[in-house]
Each structure stands twice: as C-alpha cells, then as structure tokens.
Amino acid sequence: MRPAIGLAMILLACLITGNGCARFNLFKRSVLEPAAAVGPVVNTLAPDLTGVDFDGAKFKLSDYRGKVVMVSFWASWCGPCLKLVPHERLIAEKYRGKPFAMIGVNYDDDLDCARKAMARYGIAWRAMQTTGQFEHLRSQWKVRGLPTVAIIDADGVIRSIRVGGVIDEHILGDLVAQAAKR
C-alpha cells in the first residue's frame, strides 16, 4: 500500500509544479536517435576509406568496386578482434579467386604492435593504418566498438554491419555469388 501512496504523491507533485508529467517526460516512450545519426547504416552507400596500407601504398575502398568487400576494424590490443582473426582467415581463403576482398582497418597508435599482431595471427589481407587520420575515420564511420565488421556489396552499398562478432556468412555468400554473375 505504501508504494502506491508514494507514487500518487509524486504524480500529484508533478501536476502541481507546472505542465504536469509531460514537463518531465514521464510516461513517454524514449525515442532512439535514428541509426544514420551514429554512422553508416545498412543499405546506404559506404563512405570511402582512403589511406595507406602497411606496405606504404595508398588505396581507397572505392578501388574495390565490382567486388564484395569485408571491412574489419581492429586493433592489436583488442582481444575480441584477435579471436575473430581465424574466422576471417577462413573467409579470405573460402572466397580467394572470387570477386571478394578483405580489408583491415587498424586502430593501433604503435604500428610495430600492429605489424607483430599481423605476423603472429596470420593477417595476410590488406590492412590500412589509421595513424594520423583516426579522427577523420571516426567521423566518417563512427565505429562504436571493436571489432566492427562491415560487408559492402559490389556497388559500394553496406549490406551488413556487425559489432563484436562474426558476420552472417549467408549474406556474404549471396553477395559474392551475385557479383560473380556480373
């Protein structure tokens, strides 16, 4: 009975002090920000990634149009990122010779640490350094956690974004099959 009396007193206080409960946003559903406000979303054109790989060569994501691209945002200090690498290696091997490319986007400040992790874990696909352009990438892609993996179709449209886990291989397989028919 006492909790009901307390709730009634709170409601009465809200009504007396102003515009009622609406003033305090009580009894309203919270509205989430639209997904576009937090970064690229599925079924939108992927922002172009431009950078330098670990061999010092410049490249950009749009160079891979016509191929399905899996972009993996990772760091050597990220345990879940490194646990994902064996799965990524299997995917890279499975789609070798097909219209598919895997690109890593490394978030390490220390490039030597990144290179050691790449050697130790067998990361043989192209990886972009973010040193010096971290803020630019963060504003473009708004990666909220590592690992983040995006699948981009042959036309440059994001078809899947996954934070913290493995990707949906059915989506990837279907997209690669469609790209192969072009």
Tens of pLDDT, residue by residue over 18-28, are 444 444 444 43
Alpha-carbon distance of 96 to 28, in angstroms, equals 52
- Burial bucket for residue 172 (CB in 10 Å: 0-12, 13-18, 19+): buried
H helices within 95-133, ranges in order? 111-121
Instruction: Count other Cβ atoms within 10 Å, centred on residue 174.
Output: 14
pLDDT at 18: 46
Overall pTM surpassing 0.95 (yes/no): no
List pLDDT tens digits, range 97-116.
999 999 999 999 999 999 99
List pLDDT tens digits, range 132-162.
676 777 778 888 889 999 999 999 999 999 9
Bridge partners, 105 (sequence order): 73, 128
* pLDDT higher than threshold 80 for residue 3: no
Q: Could you give the 3-state DSSP secondary structure of residue 20?
A: helix
Helix, strand counts (H, E) of the chain = 5, 7
Domains of the chain: 1-29 (no CATH), 32-180 (3.40.30.10)
Phi first, then psi, for residue 26 (nearest 5°) are: -80, 145
- Amino acid 39 reads G
